[in-house]
């Protein structure tokens, strides 16, 4: 927000068309929400505030994707009408989409990518943000370091060499997390995982941090104990549900805790755990499922397909509640309002007591719990564990066998797109 404000002030009345975008509808909604909060705290004139867009769009919508067609409205022959483009959650952008996006930018445009290079890469081909940031540790060129030193009044050390010089001078690594402190258990654990330091990970869990805990899942008793802890994690939500609290309070309480999975199938995957959690909650009389309906009071669902007409996007979470009009699914919208939709009108959706780590990208929870499978699998990588850990604001629970966790930390996602080599060759 401060960067956009600076660009607008530098424009000094000249045209400065800004657009905001993100890879998914959920990420775009988060960007809209967070930017709106930040802008309210900045000393901008009413005219300057008008220049900053009120909402973000998905990359597909920005480029003018047509349903059922591979063609885009905006491309090199018909570039986007903008001067500045801000793209959040850039680690989720795959190589083909990044190519289309860059192709559609006008020659004079500035593009600002925001994201965590150490998170899970895109589902499809490439690890574009990681390739872009490959030279971040090389430091600024001497010329750029001098410019920054003069502007800030602080000494900015220069890197060595001239490789990928123009790219290096465009990179900035943020050193402080505002989600959790670097000296917290979550912060220490995330840093150790990111370094691939298995010994440090073990040491962090042996220290007296109150915000992290690790549990074993080696027996049926361990599995039942995990379900009990999931029930406790959703405790405030279930209490508000029973008290028939206002929908906004119930939605807020649900989003405080989330169980994350590496897999979709099996007893440690999303599908199996959602069914098992429902059964367990039914046994404990926390929910009341009907034998001939998937819908029950308090059922949480995640949207799996965008529906722009309803304003719902892949990853949005709603809660089924009956407030006198029959069962409707209630959603918190980016503008702070609450809307309800009849279940029959919802696009594709699924129960979401548990969600995959991939689906959690762009979200944060007061208490996140990660469950890893009992057998090694290629999809359980350092990036996956790091992404899950960094979803937690205040508390993290990890259910994992020591061997599986160590193997995951030692396994990095390797993708060779040729992009990093291209940056190097062009300087």
Q: Which domains does the chain have, with CATH numbers?
A: 2-177+416-426 (3.40.50.300), 185-410 (3.40.50.300)
Instruction: State how far the Cα of 226 lies from the Cα of 103, in Å rounded to an integer.
Output: 49
Lookup: tokens for 223: 């599995």
Q: How does pLDDT run across 82-102, given as a tens digit for each residue? A: 988 989 888 888 888 888 999
Instruction: State how far the Cα of 323 lies from the Cα of 333, in Å rounded to an integer.
Output: 19
Asked whether the CA dihedral 244, 245, 250, 256 is positive or negative, the reply is negative
Q: How does pLDDT run across 182-236, given as a tens digit for each residue? A: 688 999 999 999 999 999 999 999 998 999 999 988 888 989 999 999 999 999 9
Q: Please, are residues 405 and 201 in contact by the beta-carbon 8 Å criterion?
A: yes
pTM of the model: 0.83
Q: Are strands 57-58 and 18-22 parallel, antiparallel or unpaired?
A: parallel
Please report which helix (H) or strand (E) contains residue 241, including its range. helix 235-242
Q: Nearest Cα to 88, choosing from 181, 180, 26?
A: 26
Q: Nearest Cα to 301, choosing from 327, 267, 279?
A: 327
Q: How does pLDDT run across 135-149, given as a tens digit for each residue? A: 777 778 888 888 888
In this prediction, residue 177 carries a pLDDT of: 67
In this prediction, residue 284 carries a pLDDT of: 93
69 pLDDT tier (thresholds 50, 70, 90): low
In this prediction, residue 56 carries a pLDDT of: 85
346 pLDDT tier (thresholds 50, 70, 90): very high
Q: Nearest Cα to 157, choosing from 137, 177, 135?
A: 137
Lookup: tokens for 385: 């564990």
In this prediction, what percent of the chain has a pLDDT beyond 90?
A: 41
Q: Please, are residues 270 and 356 in contact by the beta-carbon 8 Å criterion?
A: yes
């Amino acid at each position: 927000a401060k960067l956009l404000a600076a660009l607008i002030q530098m424009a000094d009345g000249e045209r400065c068309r800004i657009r905001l975008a993100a890879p998914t509808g959920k990420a775009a909604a988060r960007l809209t929400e967070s930017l709106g909060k930040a802008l309210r705290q900045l000393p901008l004139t009413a005219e300057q505030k008008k220049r900053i867009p009120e909402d973000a769009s998905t990359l597909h919508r920005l480029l003018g994707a047509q349903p059922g067609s591979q063609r885009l409205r905006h491309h090199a022959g018909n570039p986007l009408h903008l001067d500045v483009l801000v793209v959040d959650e850039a680690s989720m952008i795959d190589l083909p989409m990044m190519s289309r996006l860059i192709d559609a930018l006008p020659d004079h445009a500035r593009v600002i990518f925001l994201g965590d290079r150490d998170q899970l890469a895109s589902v499809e081909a490439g690890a574009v943000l990681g390739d872009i940031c490959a030279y971040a540790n090389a430091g600024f060129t001497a010329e750029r370091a001098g410019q920054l030193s003069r502007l800030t009044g602080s000494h900015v050390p220069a890197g060595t060499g001239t490789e990928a010089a123009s790219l290096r001078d465009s990179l900035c690594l943020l050193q402080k997390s505002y989600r959790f402190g670097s000296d917290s258990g979550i912060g220490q654990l995330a840093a150790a995982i990111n370094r691939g330091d298995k010994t440090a990970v073990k040491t962090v869990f042996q220290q007296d941090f109150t915000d992290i805990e690790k549990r074993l899942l080696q027996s049926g008793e361990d599995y039942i104990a995990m379900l009990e802890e999931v029930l406790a994690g959703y405790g405030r939500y279930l209490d508000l549900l029973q008290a028939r609290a206002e929908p906004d309070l119930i939605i807020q309480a649900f989003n405080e805790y989330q169980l994350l999975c590496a897999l979709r199938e099996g007893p440690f995957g999303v599908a199996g755990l959602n069914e098992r959690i429902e059964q367990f909650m039914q046994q404990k009389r926390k929910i009341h499922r009907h034998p001939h309906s998937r819908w029950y009071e308090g059922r949480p669902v995640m949207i799996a397909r965008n529906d722009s007409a309803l304003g719902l996007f892949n990853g949005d979470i709603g809660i089924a509640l009956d407030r006198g009009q029959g069962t409707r699914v209630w959603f918190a919208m980016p503008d702070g309002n609450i809307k309800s939709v009849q279940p029959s009108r919802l696009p594709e959706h699924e129960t979401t007591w548990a969600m995959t780590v991939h689906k959690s990208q762009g979200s944060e929870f007061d208490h996140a719990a990660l469950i890893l499978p009992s057998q090694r699998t290629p999809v359980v990588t350092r990036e996956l564990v790091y992404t899950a850990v960094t979803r937690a604001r205040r508390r993290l629970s990890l259910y994992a066998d020591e061997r599986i966790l160590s193997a995951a930390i030692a396994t990095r996602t390797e993708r060779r797109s040729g992009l990093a080599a291209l940056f190097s060759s062009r300087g």
